[in-house]
């Protein structure tokens, strides 16, 4: 075996790294990348008890009890003894003075004092996916005398310890918290969104002080515009002194989270390098993280993709395959209880005229410079296979072959879980890049408008942006090339959790634990650059249900688009068009259909609000669609009660809709879009559909879908989420959700003889308390819907309104 390439930390195990970190912390130091804003030591002894009495008591215990005696005290009182010696001492001092800690009320684990968070936390697990999230400043303690072993009873401080045995006489311990800017000196410069006096009051209220100069300050807070303007002498002086220069968002976020955020994540003067700022993504402002993840190159496109960092693909490297097994595995671990979000890559790669190569990489998402990474050359093939299997078991706690052949696996606590990659190419890698788009459309034999439309659907950009916006675009794992088995597993986890929510009555931290456990499961399966602890149905809809549907549709696009990275002179757009099995034609702008659609949009549209900016929409082109997977107009006309309705969709989902038709929502949730269960949901308001079709201010083009839906003879109307959606799904009845606004019925008209077009001015309805802003229509059978038109729209900024939200 020969090691070709390593990093200085490559041979350091996870436990060694943790031990190293503990050593740094014990010495009062942190590696540079983890330095927190400087704080003066708080006068409050918030971690080591309160008052001089406790300090003297701790000193006596430290000087008179041995490590063995300390462990004996903890064991006798039912406490955990697996921590490092310095931690055991603090645990023992706390126990002897305040009483033995009781078990965690959430999971029954042992409570420990977290010096950094200044809280007591649990060291147990909610499940095999998530560490316990219990946290408190006033922990439960056993209402019983402290048990003192004989060796301690015979010590020099036995009388002192006996004074604290009785639970009735011992004091109660509560940890206090520092304010976020405690001990900091902050300087302000330039025109901020709030006055300097406002921020001075806020900073002082939260423990800090404000200085007019930059001498000796913690940081300088400026407007990002100062960089473009060249800044003042104050900015230059700060940069010369190497002081952090940060945006106003640092103040806002630190106050909101009641903890000083990492200064480097809000830096406004350091230039972005090719490798980014070198700051872990979870420490960055979300918008900065999104820029880095979007610009990062996808390093592995699928099950047969050789990881780019190995550089072996350049030498003809291919994934090793033997007896039907591909030796390429990717893993994810998201434990929100411990704040872990990690990935791991393992590959055996064959290279012409060379030995077998084993590549291993493990690290924290978004912190590539500190990943453990090694590339090794193996002369003995069987030994390499054995080592691969051994590593798989070490990483997952499971055997490799049962997983690879039958997908059998059991999640183990603190272990990784495989991301089941499919045999294909992620569309973010296989689709056309920006430089190829023009050439591909120029050589396309399709009508020019249709070629340009296909160019959008077969380009990388819409898929990259969609996954970036969802935080599902880590460069190391191909989230656009997952197996159906993996997607089904995700769907089952989501549905199981939705059902659990219907029956659970838990509140407070017990409810938080349920959400944290699901969130850890979800973001282990749906590997994310920024996992979050979901808290409510709206977040569940946005970050789980909708995200799943988008990933599912992008995976369909990946298989259809395939590999377009080669020569674009062979007309790949026409080839993909033929694979779609459909006919797409541009609608003449002088035709009645075009005029009807423009009128329908303009009449039922209201400006879409994104942050503080409102956007209008104008029609650019309209495409008529006929697809083999979708009921034709003649077929849908045979059904009763037909309505032409708007459907919103990300551009990244369109290819799947055209190729296979609409799919019902993945689950039932009491929020718009999901409140009628597993249904296909449309609206009579273009304003509602536009919320889902909108892309971004720098990508103003989007698509709205117009489909004919047959609601059937029996239409149920609702003004609130129905309690039983399963009955609606089973009976496949038509549903109309009545919104707070409706279209003026007197203006409605018929299209193609008997298809109703609910085109009318949006007016207030009598349903003022409805959770829906606009009317929604739901059908449960895909055969009841027929996509007729794709409406290309351009969003334009209408006006800006600055909303001044005061941080709490």
Q: What is the 3 state secondary structure string of 109-157?
A: CCEEEECCCCEEEECCECCCCCECCCEECCCCECCCCCCCCHHHHCCCC
What confidence category does residue 567 fall into, taking pLDDT thresholds of 50, 70 and 90? Answer: low
In 3D space, the residue among 295, 251, 302 whose CA is nearest the CA of residue 426 turns out to be 302
What confidence category does residue 321 fall into, taking pLDDT thresholds of 50, 70 and 90? Answer: very high
Share of the chain above pLDDT 90, in %: 57
Sheet with 135-136: strands ordered across = 111-114, 119-122, 135-136
Given a contact cutoff of 8 angstroms between Cβ atoms, the answer to whether 394 and 388 are in contact is no
State whether residue 63 is helix, strand or coil. helix
CA distance linking residue 340 with residue 130, whole number of Å: 10
Torsion of CA 377, 382, 385, 387, to 10 degrees: -70
CA distance linking residue 480 with residue 478, whole number of Å: 5
Q: 174 vs 48, which has greater pLDDT?
A: 174
Residue matched to tokens 């002498």: 233
DSSP letters, 657-695, are: HHHH-----SS--SSTTTTTSS-EEEES-HHHHHHHH--
If you average pLDDT over residues 213-233, what whole number do you get?
A: 75
**What H or E segment, with its residue span, contains residue 319?**
strand 318-319
Question: Both tokens of residue 549?
Answer: 């549907």
Residue 577: partners with Cβ closer than 8 Å, 6 or more residues away: 446, 450, 454, 584
pLDDT value at residue 223:
78
Torsion of CA 73, 78, 82, 86, to 10 degrees: -40
State whether residue 49 is helix, strand or coil. coil
Q: Mind listing the pLDDT tens digit for each residue in 86-120?
A: 788 988 998 999 999 999 999 999 888 876 667 78
What average pLDDT does the chain have?
85
If you average pLDDT over residues 198-223, what whole number do you get?
A: 91
Given a cut of 50, whether residue 58 has pLDDT beyond it is yes
If you average pLDDT over residues 60-64, what whole number do you get?
A: 92
pLDDT value at residue 694:
52
Given a contact cutoff of 8 angstroms between Cβ atoms, the answer to whether 58 and 238 are in contact is no
Residue matched to tokens 């039932």: 668
Given a contact cutoff of 8 angstroms between Cβ atoms, the answer to whether 270 and 277 are in contact is yes
Residue 51: partners with Cβ closer than 8 Å, 6 or more residues away: 45
Lowest-confidence range among 66-75, 134-143, 216-225? 216-225
**What H or E segment, with its residue span, contains residue 702?**
strand 701-710
Residues in the chain: 808
């Amino acid at each position: 075996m020969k090691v070709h390439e390593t990093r200085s930390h490559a041979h350091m195990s996870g436990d060694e790294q943790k031990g190293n970190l503990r050593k740094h912390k014990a010495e009062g130091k942190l590696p540079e990348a983890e330095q927190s804003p400087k704080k003066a030591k708080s006068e409050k002894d918030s971690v080591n008890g309160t008052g001089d009495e406790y300090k003297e008591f701790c000193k006596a215990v430290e000087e008179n009890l041995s490590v063995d005696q300390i462990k004996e005290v903890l064991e006798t009182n039912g406490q955990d003894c697996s921590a490092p010696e310095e931690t055991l001492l603090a645990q023992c001092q706390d126990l002897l003075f305040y009483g033995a800690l009781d078990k965690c009320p959430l999971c029954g684990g042992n409570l420990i004092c977290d010096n950094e968070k200044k809280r007591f936390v649990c060291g147990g697990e909610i499940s095999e996916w998530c560490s316990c999230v219990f946290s408190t400043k006033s922990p439960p303690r056993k209402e019983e005398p402290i048990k003192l072993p004989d060796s301690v009873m015979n010590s020099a401080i036995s009388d002192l310890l006996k004074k604290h045995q009785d639970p009735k006489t011992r004091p109660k311990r509560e940890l206090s918290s520092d304010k976020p800017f405690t001990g900091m000196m902050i300087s302000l410069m330039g025109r901020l969104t709030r006055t300097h006096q406002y921020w001075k009051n806020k900073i002082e209220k939260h423990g800090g002080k404000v200085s007019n100069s930059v001498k000796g300050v913690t940081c300088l807070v400026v407007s990002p515009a100062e960089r473009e303007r060249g800044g003042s002498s104050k900015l230059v002086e700060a940069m010369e002194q190497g002081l952090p220069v940060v945006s106003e968002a640092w103040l806002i976020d630190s106050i909101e989270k009641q903890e000083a955020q990492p200064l480097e994540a809000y830096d406004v003067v350091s230039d972005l390098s090719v490798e980014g700022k070198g700051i872990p993504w979870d420490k960055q402002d979300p918008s900065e993280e999104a820029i880095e993840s979007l610009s990062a190159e996808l390093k592995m496109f699928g099950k047969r993709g050789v990881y780019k960092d190995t550089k072996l693909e350049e030498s003809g490297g291919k994934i090793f395959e033997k007896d039907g097994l591909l030796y390429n595995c990717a893993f994810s671990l998201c434990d929100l209880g411990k704040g872990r979000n990690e990935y791991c890559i393992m590959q055996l790669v064959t290279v012409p005229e060379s030995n077998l190569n084993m590549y291993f990489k493990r690290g924290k998402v978004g912190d590539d410079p500190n990943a453990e990474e090694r590339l090794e050359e193996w002369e003995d093939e069987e030994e390499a296979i054995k080592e691969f299997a051994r590593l798989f078991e070490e990483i997952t706690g499971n055997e490799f072959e049962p997983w690879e052949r039958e997908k059998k696996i059991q999640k183990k606590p603190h272990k990784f879980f495989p991301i089941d990659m499919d045999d294909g190419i992620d569309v973010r890698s296989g689709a056309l890049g920006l430089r190829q788009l023009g050439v591909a459309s120029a050589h396309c034999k399709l009508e020019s408008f249709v070629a340009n439309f296909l160019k959008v659907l077969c380009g990388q950009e819409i898929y990259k942006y969609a996954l970036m916006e969802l935080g599902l675009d880590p460069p190391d794992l191909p989230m656009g090339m997952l197996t159906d088995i993996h997607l089904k597993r995700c769907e089952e986890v989501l549905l199981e959790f939705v059902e659990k929510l219907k029956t659970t009555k838990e509140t407070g931290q017990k409810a938080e634990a349920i959400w944290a456990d699901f969130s850890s499961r979800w973001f282990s399966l749906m590997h994310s650059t920024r996992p979050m602890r979901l808290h409510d149905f709206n977040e569940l809809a946005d970050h789980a249900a909708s995200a799943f549907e988008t990933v599912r549709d992008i995976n369909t696009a990946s298989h259809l688009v395939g590999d377009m990275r080669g020569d674009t002179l062979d007309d790949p757009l026409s080839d993909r068009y033929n694979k779609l099995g459909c006919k797409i034609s541009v609608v003449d702008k002088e035709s009645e259909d075009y005029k009807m659609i423009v009128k329908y949009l303009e009449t039922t549209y209201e400006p879409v609000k994104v942050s503080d900016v409102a956007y209008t929409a104008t029609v650019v082109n309209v495409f008529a669609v006929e697809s083999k997977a979708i009921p034709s107009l003649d077929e849908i006309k045979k059904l009763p009660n037909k309505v032409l309705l708007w459907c919103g969709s990300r551009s990244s989902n369109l290819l799947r809709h055209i190729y296979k038709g609409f799919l019902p929502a993945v689950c039932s949730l009491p929020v718009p879009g999901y409140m009628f269960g597993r249904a296909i949901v449309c609206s009579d308001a273009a304003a509602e559909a536009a919320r889902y079709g909108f892309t971004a201010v720098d990508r103003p083009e989007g698509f709205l879908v117009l489909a004919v839906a047959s609601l059937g003879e029996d239409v149920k109307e609702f003004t609130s989420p129905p309690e039983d959606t399963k009955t609606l799904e089973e009976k496949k009845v038509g549903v109309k959700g009545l919104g707070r606004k409706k279209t003026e019925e007197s203006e409605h008209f018929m299209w193609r003889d008997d298809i109703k077009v609910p085109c009318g001015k949006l007016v207030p309805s009598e349903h003022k308390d409805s959770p829906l802003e606009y009317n929604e229509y739901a059908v449960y059978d895909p055969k009841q819907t027929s996509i007729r038109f794709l409406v290309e729209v351009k969003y334009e900024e209408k006006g800006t309104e600055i909303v001044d939200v005061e941080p709490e």
